[in-house]
Structure 1
């Protein structure tokens, strides 16, 4: 029987699945009779599915709502996922997912692209739709088609923006003159010396800072990958933390947060101050996350191995770190120096050797006297 909830203007109904499980969902109507009819139809569909093997129609809402309620809430990107679903809802509300096909996915891609959405944004939105379909197929055994597979857009190479050391110092000089400038300067220095993400730093508590052993400890709930890691502290990072410690001792001795306001509360955002500092320092096209790129770029340029940078930054795979590989010219300098050696000693020369046409024609051959 339909019932009312205090947090919803609509009637809610009980729906019995073919496996006997009962779920509750909004009927999407304020009409009691319509809600009751929908509940009875759902029971009839479940019976047909169980007894006759008929796969009843599933709407976009029937697929997305239980996914968001049961699966996506355990994701770290839950808020981002719900934001992506808003774009999907505008196109797929009322669509029967049993009949979802490739042309509908292409139509969505075309529409979003025309609206100015990037290929990466569209792909993430379609990934949310695909995940919801897969979740329902596993949990409810609905056997819905998933035409998203193979229909994502080609994305351009990932953006890598980083600062030189001179630019970092210029940005810090400007930031220090702003309101709460010392906090922003310490944030910038800690970011470029540890490679931590914004939320990893703003959510950092003093209990996870080991100044004796010069380490920061991040548990699974604090990292994007959900894996714990420890971050060593160099002198630059130590100076930033000591600056925060001095501020804490003076303004908010009882605060557990490294980046705290005078009230002791955690700093929620530094975006406004960061944007203002970039503008004053005449640094364009820079976001907070680029401080993390800066740390990686400086390490790779100094010859640190990709695997070590991966471990420091907490990348899930080496592929994420390889986008900085072009900043490591030392890897190929040794190779081209071989040619210098050949030229200087004159011990070898390159000549053409005749090779049969079926083997590729002329071939450069290294001949040693």
Structure 2
């Protein structure tokens, strides 16, 4: 039967010995099924060439208006290409297809790399994604890749599931398990290498490099990070068409903030000229034998960790290479504005936060002041 579904009708209609179906006259495919125990909202969809009714909620837990909106979202999701009862892999695919174009390219690339951390979950249905399973994976990523990488992985998964609920791909009462996983604390870090550590880092890299062809592209990428202060994502996303080695510039269409052009030193130009080009790959730091993709960030982390281990340098993250560049510029007498330009900070407040306190003359004057104050109290 076709009728204009309202809350009044849904409340008054009774079960009369057999199941009855009432479809909405204003929204085709949306209906109410009245059974002996429940009144169910359904939507008529086509999956694999066959029509089927899918339950999307129950009256009175959902009002007719809420159920109608959920049905519309569900039909839009199906029309966009995702069949019902999909796996996490289906959700990931659909997320990148529909929502990907709305995100920054660097964010999409980062999310695709994060997805690889969950390759064994691709066939898992969202209903079987428990809080404990998420916590175990979060701890594993923290142990293997660091606390920041684990936080990023959790944020990605939480965002995909929340988006799926909003799109009607998951029920509105779906309990997103990643909301219950406590993130790693992110205190402001001011770790950077001193000159002795920098020398040991370079020496250990050269030692590893001399042992063979393994990790060669990662060595080039780490050199680029050390010599420029670029972010890890900016190294991994670097393409040949972004470089002008004749004029010594690199143009990033999208950084963490805005499009930027950076000047390259002669040393960096020489470095980039030596990086072997991989046929069919547009990325500078290419992944051998994996098509048009850059080196994997896990490989970069592994090489960095091995260098630090040999150099006996503790508690140094990849991002600390960037902070090392900024700190060494400051120690060499560079203004905060120059450091901000080199590192690509839009807000000089960020530069001040990490580098304003680094000044040999200021530190020496402060030490003298403290000693004078304390010495003046001696004997009293």
**TM class, shorter-chain normalised?**
0.5 to 0.7
Question: How far does the alpha carbon of each residue in 1:171-200 deviate from its partner, in whole angstroms, 9 at most, with x for none?
Answer: 454366454699777655432221124564
Two-structure CA RMSD over aligned residues (Å): 5.9
Structure 1 residues 100-249: aligned runs within 5 Å:
105=131, 107=132, 111-112=136-137, 117=142, 120=148, 123-136=151-164, 138-140=166-168, 144=173, 152-155=182-185, 157=187, 160=191, 162=193, 164-171=197-204, 173-174=206-207, 177-179=210-212, 187-198=221-232, 200-201=234-235, 204-205=238-239, 208-210=242-244, 214-220=248-254, 223=255, 225=256, 227-234=258-265, 238-242=266-270, 244-245=272-273
Give the direction of change, closer, same or farther, for the CA distance of 1:182–1:312 in structure 2 (3 Å limit): same
Give the direction of change, closer, same or farther, for the CA distance of 1:61–1:117 in structure 2 (3 Å limit): farther
Unaligned runs of 5+ in 1: 1-14, 97-103, 353-369
Give the direction of change, closer, same or farther, for the CA distance of 1:40–1:289 in structure 2 (3 Å limit): same
Structure 1 residues 1-16: aligned runs within 5 Å:
none
1:278 partnered with 2:307: yes
Aligned-partner Cα distance in 2 for 1:336–1:266: 54
Deviation for aligned residue 1:152: 3.0
Unaligned runs of 5+ in 2: 1-27, 32-42, 75-83
SS in 2 for 1:192: helix
Aligned-partner Cα distance in 1 for 2:286–2:231: 17
The residue number in structure 1 matching 2:342 is 312
TM-score by length of 1: 0.53
CA contact (8 A) 2:111 2:156 kept: no
1:51 partnered with 2:81: no
Give the direction of change, closer, same or farther, for the CA distance of 1:283–1:290 in structure 2 (3 Å limit): farther
Aligned-partner Cα distance in 2 for 1:23–1:129: 29
Question: How far does the alpha carbon of each residue in 1:85-107 deviate from its partner, in whole angstroms, 9 at most, with x for none?
Answer: 668779973269xxxxxxx75x5
Question: How far does the alpha carbon of each residue in 1:54-100 deviate from its partner, in whole angstroms, 9 at most, with x for none?
Answer: 4879999589824454225752323234346668779973269xxxx
The residue number in structure 2 matching 1:6 is none
SS in 1 for 2:54: helix
Aligned-partner Cα distance in 2 for 1:134–1:299: 43
SS in 2 for 1:217: strand
CA contact (8 A) 2:142 2:149 kept: yes
SS in 1 for 2:99: helix
TM-score by length of 2: 0.52
CA contact (8 A) 1:176 1:185 kept: yes
Question: How far does the alpha carbon of each residue in 1:217-262 deviate from its partner, in whole angstroms, 9 at most, with x for none?
Answer: 2222xx4x2632222333xxx12423543788xx99xx98766899
CA contact (8 A) 1:192 1:291 kept: yes
The residue number in structure 2 matching 1:296 is 326
The number of equivalent residue pairs is: 305
